[in-house]
Amino acid sequence: MSEKRKPWITESSKHILQDEWISLRADTCRSERNEEISPYYIFEYSPWVCIFPLTADGKLLITEQYRHGIEQVHFEFPGGGLDPSDASPLEAARRELLEETGHTAQEFIELGSLSTDPAKNTNRLHYFLAKNIAQVGDQQLDRTEDISLKFLSLNDVFSLLDQEQFLCARQTGGLLLLLRYLNHPIPSRAT
């Protein structure tokens, strides 16, 4: 068994940019080998949520929207960041599902949480299964969102992955938690 690694020591931090969307800081750190690492950039984000909305007949509700970072339209699961008004990740999941899809669920099950990027980001992504969803209203989209909705089987979602139409790595990581919860085998890659 290997020796336990020690965390870096942060000697100083300076915020480079802070606004409603992002907080970026530059740290000066010292590694356990006494190497100075500077600047080391850290993105400070609030926690995020990702929702796997499941209908009573086993279909997943996914979103289709433009993402400017990659300048493409692609598929995702509903989700987003916690707002200051959200008391918990569960409350954020309920709000995001309703805003992005107009749906709610009879039951929300937290599947777990993962780091969005342990090297550079401070936040975690909380994954929820929303069981037996039903539409209760219209979408309540913000000015940056134009979202279409689709109902697909889990195998169809994996087909979108194979076709590189489902590109969000932080969400696909949560698919493993969903598959484990549902006791569902990983679908074979499309040929």
Mean per-residue pLDDT for 15-39? 95
Mean of per-residue pLDDT scores for the chain:
94
- For domain 48-182, the question of CATH label 3.30.360.10 is answered with no
Distance separating alpha carbons of residues 119 and 173, to the nearest angstrom = 16
Q: Which of 3-7, 81-85, 97-101 has the lowest mean pLDDT?
A: 3-7
Residue 90 has pLDDT above 80, yes or no: yes
- State the pLDDT at residue 21: 82
What percent of the chain clears pLDDT 70, i.e. is strictly above it?
A: 98
pTM of the predicted protein model: 0.92
Domain ranges of the chain: 9-43, 48-182
pLDDT digits (tens, 9 = 90+) for 47-69: 999 999 999 999 999 999 999 99
